[in-house]
């Protein structure tokens, strides 16, 4: 009887110990579990961006895809009262000439989703437009269609219908014309300084019923923003960082080339490719 009692006590101790270890194991798991969007310290990416060696892919690349960044397509060079507006504007005549030069050089336009899916060629190129200005529809679209080019338009959804911006039907016409339509937040806010919850709302709302591509307003973002973009299933996101995209680029921090009225486009593209290949220093970039 005494032996049976001892066996019973020992069994209960083993069972109890096992339960303790199970509880500890689940407690560790719970404490180490991460939410869908892991909140990190806000570390804003600086702008304007100066590319250095750490931003050039360390792995040798074989494909270099320029992503061009436009804002306004309008005649604006005589507006001496608005220097920033001049810097952001390319005239329709110049835009037409630029597309002609690119076509003659053998470049073929693709979408950002194509690039993210690996559907690119040695002479692939992506054209992007930020903010959703009305001249994207009235001026840029006819010229793009003239050269049978495609482009990506990043829309600030809360600005639709305002003076100077496209309407919802115009954006729909862009899509029907074969253009890619991406998100650019609701209010064009600074994603590097806004709250975690606000950033999720601004990004997720702006990509609703859009293609799965995104542009950071004014190129501002931080590590939390990257987590949100990735968690929302966005396939590609572009920055204002200088450079060309390669197969080794982060799909959520794709660089672009800002295009101005007097940009020597082929020269700028070749410079950025040379920098990516480490054949040229970023300090040797030409000035527009």
**pLDDT tens digits for range 215-266:** 999 999 999 999 999 999 999 999 999 999 999 999 999 999 999 999 999 9
Contacts of residue 58, Cβ cutoff 8 Å, sequence gap at least 6: none
Nearest to 251 by CA among 54, 114, 46, 71: 114
Residue 156 φ/ψ region, left for φ over 0, alpha for ψ in the -120 to 50 degree band, beta for the rest:
beta
Q: Quick one: average pLDDT of 186-200?
A: 97
- Kindly state the average pLDDT of the residues 149-171: 98
Handedness of CA 146, 164, 175, 249 (dihedral sign): positive
Task: Count Cβ atoms within 10 A of the Cβ of residue 206 and give its class: 0-12 exposed, 13-18 middle, 19 or more buried.
Answer: buried
- 131 φ, ψ to 5°? 95, -30
Nearest to 229 by CA among 214, 249, 239, 219: 214
**Which of 179, 250, 165, 236 shows the shortest CA–CA distance to 207?**
236
- The tokens for 163 are 């003076």
- Tokens coding 193: 């300084």
Q: List Cβ neighbours of 14 (8 Å cut-off, separation of 6 or more).
A: none
Count the neighbouring beta carbons within 10 Å of the beta carbon of residue 230.
15
Q: In this predicted structure, what is the pLDDT of residue 244?
A: 97
- The pLDDT value given to residue 287: 83
Query: Taking the CB of residue 63, how many other CB atoms lie within 10 A of it?
Result: 17
The model's pLDDT over 61-94, given as tens digits with 9 standing for 90+, comes to: 789 999 999 999 999 988 888 899 999 999 999 9
What are the sequence ranges of the domains in the chain? 1-33, 53-284
Q: Which CATH architecture has domain 53-284?
A: Alpha-Beta Barrel (3.20)
Nearest residue to 131 via CA among 71, 178, 199, 207: 71
pTM: 0.81
Can you point out the beta strands (E) in the chain? 64-65, 67-70, 72-73, 89-90, 108-109, 124-131, 152-155, 180-183, 213-215, 236-242, 245-246, 254-258
| Weakest mean pLDDT among 52-66, 91-105, 163-177 | 52-66
- Partnered with residue 65 across adjacent β-strands are 245
User: Residue 47: is its pLDDT beyond 70?
Assistant: no
Q: Please state, in angstroms and rounded to a whole number, the distance separating the CA atoms of residues 189 and 211.
A: 20
Q: Give pLDDT, residue 59.
A: 54
27: alpha, beta or left? (left if phi > 0; alpha if psi -120 to 50): alpha
pLDDT tens-digit readout, 93-124: 999 999 999 999 999 999 999 999 999 999 99
Cα distances (angstroms) measured from residue 185 to each of 96, 208, 225, 237, 262: 29, 10, 12, 12, 29
In angstroms, the CA 50 to CA 186 distance is 28
């Amino acid at each position: 009887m005494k032996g049976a009692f001892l066996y019973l006590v020992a069994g209960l101790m083993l069972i109890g110990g096992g339960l303790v270890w199970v509880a500890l194991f689940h407690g560790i798991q719970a404490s180490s579990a991460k939410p869908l969007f892991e909140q990190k310290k806000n570390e804003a990416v600086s702008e304007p961006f100066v590319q250095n060696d750490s931003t050039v892919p360390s792995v040798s690349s074989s494909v270099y895809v320029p992503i061009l960044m436009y804002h306004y397509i309008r005649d604006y060079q005589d507006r001496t009262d608005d220097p920033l507006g001049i810097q952001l504007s390319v005239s329709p005549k110049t835009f037409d000439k630029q597309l002609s030069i690119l076509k003659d050089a053998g470049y073929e336009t693709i979408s950002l989703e194509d690039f993210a899916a690996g559907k690119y060629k040695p002479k692939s190129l992506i054209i992007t437009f930020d903010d959703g200005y009305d001249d994207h529809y009235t001026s840029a679209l006819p010229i793009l269609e003239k050269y049978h080019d495609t482009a990506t338009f990043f829309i600030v959804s809360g600005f639709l219908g305002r003076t100077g911006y496209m309407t919802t039907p115009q954006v729909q016409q862009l899509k029907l014309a074969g253009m890619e339509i991406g998100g650019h937040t609701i209010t064009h806010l600074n994603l590097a300084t806004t709250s975690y919850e606000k950033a999720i709302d601004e990004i997720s709302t702006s990509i609703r019923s859009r293609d799965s591509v995104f542009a950071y307003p004014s190129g501002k973002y931080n590590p939390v923003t990257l987590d949100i973009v990735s968690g929302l299933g966005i396939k590609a996101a572009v920055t204002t960082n200088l450079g060309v995209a390669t197969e080794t680029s982060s799909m959520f921090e794709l660089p672009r080339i800002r295009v101005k009225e007097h940009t020597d486009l082929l020269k700028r593209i070749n410079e950025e490719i040379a920098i990516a290949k480490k054949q040229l220093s970023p300090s040797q970039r030409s000035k527009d």
